[in-house]
Amino acid sequence: MPYRIGKYTLGLEMPPTVVSYASVGSKKEGEGPLKDDFDYIEMDSYFGEDTWEKAESRIQREAINRALEKGELDPSDIDYVFAGDLLNQCTSSSYGLRELGIPLFGLYGACSTMAESLSLASIFIDSRAAERCAAVTSSHFCSAERQFRFPLEYAGQRTPTSQWTVTGGGAVIIGSRKKAPYVRAVTTGTVEDYGIKDVNNMGAAMAPAASATIQRFFKDTGMKPDQFDMIVTGDLGYVGSGILLELLEKQGLDIHRQHKDCGLMIFDRESQPEVQAGGSGCGCSGSVLCGHILPKIQQGKLKEVLFIATGALMSTTSVQQGGTIPGIAHLVYLSSEAESGKLPKQEQEIHCSCGGRKGKG
Amino acid sequence: MPYRIGKYTLGLEMPPTVVSYASVGSKKEGEGPLKDDFDYIEMDSYFGEDTWEKAESRIQREAINRALEKGELDPSDIDYVFAGDLLNQCTSSSYGLRELGIPLFGLYGACSTMAESLSLASIFIDSRAAERCAAVTSSHFCSAERQFRFPLEYAGQRTPTSQWTVTGGGAVIIGSRKKAPYVRAVTTGTVEDYGIKDVNNMGAAMAPAASATIQRFFKDTGMKPDQFDMIVTGDLGYVGSGILLELLEKQGLDIHRQHKDCGLMIFDRESQPEVQAGGSGCGCSGSVLCGHILPKIQQGKLKEVLFIATGALMSTTSVQQGGTIPGIAHLVYLSSEAESGKLPKQEQEIHCSCGGRKGKG
């Protein structure tokens, strides 16, 4: 059963495992540094559909179907799917997953969705509310530009702080097989708002949320950054990453050595300068987690990883009305070991539902 | 701990309780049949704000703050809030709840959000992932019309199948105090699509989803409709309710006597004919649940209730692209008793995490 570590963190007593996963990308992702890590690269940005929105639905379907196939699973083996995306009314998820017939908890966490869905799926497994859950998300450059910014045909100039929405997605299947990667703990974010109003600087809007969640994880668990091989944020990009490191340093937390950002990993800002400050979108952290990070944990090349996906929670309407941009960040602690002895255990004496009693941990 | 009853239903072993709740409405809701049931009726549709979207955020804040107050609770007493709404990027929730500092799982379930959030909050409590969770949602007639239909100034003619978005919301606080109302089980919906394309006939688009979820609940649990005092859908309205009863009858399920619909309860179609087929929106089932149904269960006037909130998962973009309208429905079984002996108990022998063993139920 999940147990509380401090105010914001839940430890997972019998750490759920990542049973399978798959990563989908498109042309630009296939030209970036992680080009060999995707399960599927589709060079046609329409993914064979007639609109970008339908293409994005296709990304979710491809991601979950490939994850199922790799895990030798059928949709009926999955008890719940937790999914969300950036589109208005999260249509990539509901249209993308409708044929699967899996009970759906629809989420909205903007670009934090991969960590939000992974958190809920893991809590469900450790609670025995489910045997297997899927966590799925996606984004598409063209559907996001059209919805949040300008028609592509307008060919607007991009500012140096702007980020490039990843056309891609990821699907993770969580279960209880005793094999790495394990999900050890989750820290759930609160809405943080530092008053940023520039929609072309999402990194700055999301960095305070990442900083708050990371600080809380370390405070709750008593762990230290040097116990981790990688502390990876979702899509802060170049600008947001700098702000995050600075905010944490002011609080006495130096994660400089461990920090990576999916938005800086997926594109090469030198050979792909049009991405400006880096990649973004739900599919950014989704595809990097599934294509790059989870395989490395499985192979034992990474042992202890904090995955923190960050979301900017504005809409075009809220921005047009002069609203600031609130951010949120959810953290998932992934490990190659089910029990590394570093995380506090259940400390309180609790009564088990079977009438048994659990001693102090 | 939650336990599985059939394929789609989770039983809650130590049924979580509704610790507190509050209901918010505006002028038209205050003129309807449930006018005396709201905790707060605001006659100004702007709720003192300068835009309708900010007003809707205010509804969520009012609802949760009143629920906290009634329960003599502080935001810091709540471990997680599950919240969502209809606005693009769910801004009523993220802007409405940002000042509370409660870890947020953002949801998108369209008008099914009250049941989706209640399901997740209840599973978290029964899993001991949290001591107290809040489930919050809202809708606003003006923000919904502007976003999904026409500018209000256009004064478009409304079709007889159209529904009137409720300006209101509800907040429920779930905990483990041993006192009614109890949450006994949840049945989570799948995306159902019967090919409806008429955005002015949401009831018809959502009825198949309600039918599927209700059938699954009865199949999973072996219970019968006559074991319930009320089987209440979220916002099918007049047209959708008729379709639901017909679909269920074809499957041999007659819920005619028990069925109510929040969209038909909140407005009086005779004295408020402009609502056409009835009320709709996340705030419809949210405010009727919190204002009318939960108090009656608490007072013992209703004993066994199935609450099924239904959502239509389209966006304006998906509709403009010729897409059909998928629906989803989540069911929550509410009861005045923690143990009525009607629901199947945990049947499998399972090993408790404490090392104890639970016998056959």
Give me the DSSP letters along A184-252.
Answer: EEEE----B------TT-HHHHHHHHHHHHHHHHHHHH---GGG-SEEEESS-HHHHHHHHHHHHHHTT
Given the candidates 3.40.50.720, 3.40.47.40, 3.40.47.10, 1.20.1250.20, the CATH classification of the domain at A182-335 is 3.40.47.40
* CA distances (Å), origin B127, targets A77, A116, B147: 22, 18, 38
Question: Per-10-residue mean pLDDT for chain B, 361 residues long?
Answer: 96 97 98 98 97 98 98 98 97 96 98 98 97 98 93 88 97 94 98 94 96 98 97 98 98 98 98 97 98 97 98 95 96 93 70 42 31
Residue B319, classified by CB atoms within 10 Å of its CB into exposed (0-12), middle (13-18) or buried (19+), is: middle
The answer for residues whose C-beta is within 8 angstroms of residue B155's C-beta and 6 or more apart is none
Beta bridge partners of A279: A164
Residue A348 has pLDDT above 70, yes or no: no
Candidates B318, B331, B345, B349, partner chain A, best to mutate (most A CBs within 10 A): B318
Integer Cα distance of B189 and B172 in angstroms? 20
The one-letter amino acid code at A294 reads: L
Residue among B88, B110, B321 whose CB faces A317 most closely: B88
- Residue A85: list chain B partners with CB under 8 A: none
This model of the complex carries an ipTM of 0.95
Residue A351 has pLDDT above 80, yes or no: no
Question: Is A325 an interface residue toward B (CB < 8 Å)?
Answer: no
Domain boundaries, chain A: 2-175, 182-335
Fold agreement between A2-175 and A182-335: yes
Question: Is B316 an interface residue toward A (CB < 8 Å)?
Answer: yes
Q: Is B358 in Cβ contact with A353 (below 8 Å)?
A: yes
Give the pLDDT of residue B64.
Answer: 98
Question: Is A86 an interface residue toward B (CB < 8 Å)?
Answer: yes
Residue A188 has pLDDT above 70, yes or no: yes
Residue A347 has pLDDT above 70, yes or no: no
Nearest CA to B283 out of B121, B117, B75 is that of: B117
Tokens 């947001």 locate to: A240
* CA distances (Å), origin A193, targets A4, B96, B97: 26, 12, 11
Integer Cα distance of B213 and B228 in angstroms? 16
pTM for this structure?
0.96
Integer Cα distance of A195 and A197 in angstroms? 6
Mean pLDDT confidence for A186-207 = 95
* CA distances (Å), origin A178, targets A64, A339, B96, B348: 22, 11, 41, 21
Given the candidates 3.40.47.40, 3.20.170.30, 3.90.580.10, 3.40.190.10, the CATH classification of the domain at B2-175 is 3.40.47.40
Residue A352 has pLDDT above 50, yes or no: no
Q: Is the dihedral of CA A197, A201, A202, A204 positive or negative?
A: negative
Beta bridge partners of A332: A186, A307
